[in-house]
Structure 1
Amino acid sequence: MNPLPKHVRQRWRYLAVGIETWPGAAIDRRDFQRHLWFAAQNLLGDVGSAETDLSVVRFDYTDGTASAVVRTRRGAESDARAVLTCLDAIDGNPIGLRVRGVSGTVRACEEKYLGGPGEAIEHGDVAFEGAKRPADSRDGRVDVRVGEGFVGATQRDIS
C-alpha cells in the first residue's frame, strides 16, 4: 500500500509545554495524556476534541519539572492552548503549565523550545515560620515542606 501524497496528508503542529509541580509528585505520560483528553472533551465537546486530536508525543519528568511535546492538527493551535490552560492538577497534584512555543516538526520543537538543560534543584533546610524545615530551591523559587504538602515561597520569605 502506497503512502498518501504530501499534499493530501494531515498537517500537524507541535506545542512545547513546560510543566512544574511540587517536588516529589509523580506524573507520567499516561496520566498527562488522560487528563489532556478529559480537558479537551470537557472544553470542546466530543466533536471539537476529535477535530483538535491532541496527543502527547514526548514527555520527560524529573523531580518536579517536566517537558512535553503535544501534537495537534494545523489550525487548531488556539484550541490546544485553551485545553492546556484548563489543566490545573494531575491525579491530585497541582501543576503549572506554560506553552513555550509552537513548531511544525517534533525535531524543531525540541531544539528550539526544549533544548536547554533543566533547572538546577537545590535541596536543603530553611528557616520558615520560626522553624527549620526541608525545602527545594529552583531558580529563586523555594518549595518549603509544611506538614503533608508544600508552600511556595521566595528567597525573601525565608530567613
Structure 2
Amino acid sequence: MITLNNRALFITICLAPTFTLGDLPETVIDKDALNKPCHVNSIIQEDILICFSKSYLLAQKELNNNYSIAQKQKNVNIRNYLIHQQRQWNKNKFDECLILPEKEVGREGIFEYLQCATDAILKRNSYLKEIYVCGNEPCQFEEPYFFQTIGHDKD
C-alpha cells in the first residue's frame, strides 16, 4: 500500500501541473536535458524523458533563432504580418497534442505528448525557414508579391 501511495503522490506531483498549466511541454520536460547525455536504448523513464526533452529543447532553440531572424524583415507590413501570424500560432500550437491519464496509456503517454509538441515546433521551423528565413538572414520580398502568393490572410 505504501508503494501505491508513493506512486500516486509521484503522479500527482509530476502530472498535475501539466493538466493545470494548459498542457505545456515545459511543465514536464527536464529543463537541464541539454547538459545531460541521451541514452537512446535505455528503458529507464528518466533517461527516456531526457532524450525527449533534449529533442524538444533543441527544436525550441531553433524556433527561437528562426523567429529572431525572420523578425528582422525590413518590410514593416510583412514583419507585422509575421508577428501576428506567430501570435496566432502560439495560441494553439499544441492543441493536437493530448496528455492522456497514465492509467489509460501508461508512461508512454507523456512521451507521445512530448513528441507531438516537438513535431509541432519542427513543422513551424520548416515553415519559417521555407518562407521567412534565407540562410541566416530574413528573406526579402516585394510586398505585393508576398501578399499575393504567401500572405493570403492579411488582416
Could you state the TM-score of these two structures normalised by the residue count of structure 2?
Answer: 0.28
The structure with the greater share of residues assigned to strand is 1
- Considering fraction of residues, name the structure with more helix: 2
TM-score by length of 1: 0.28
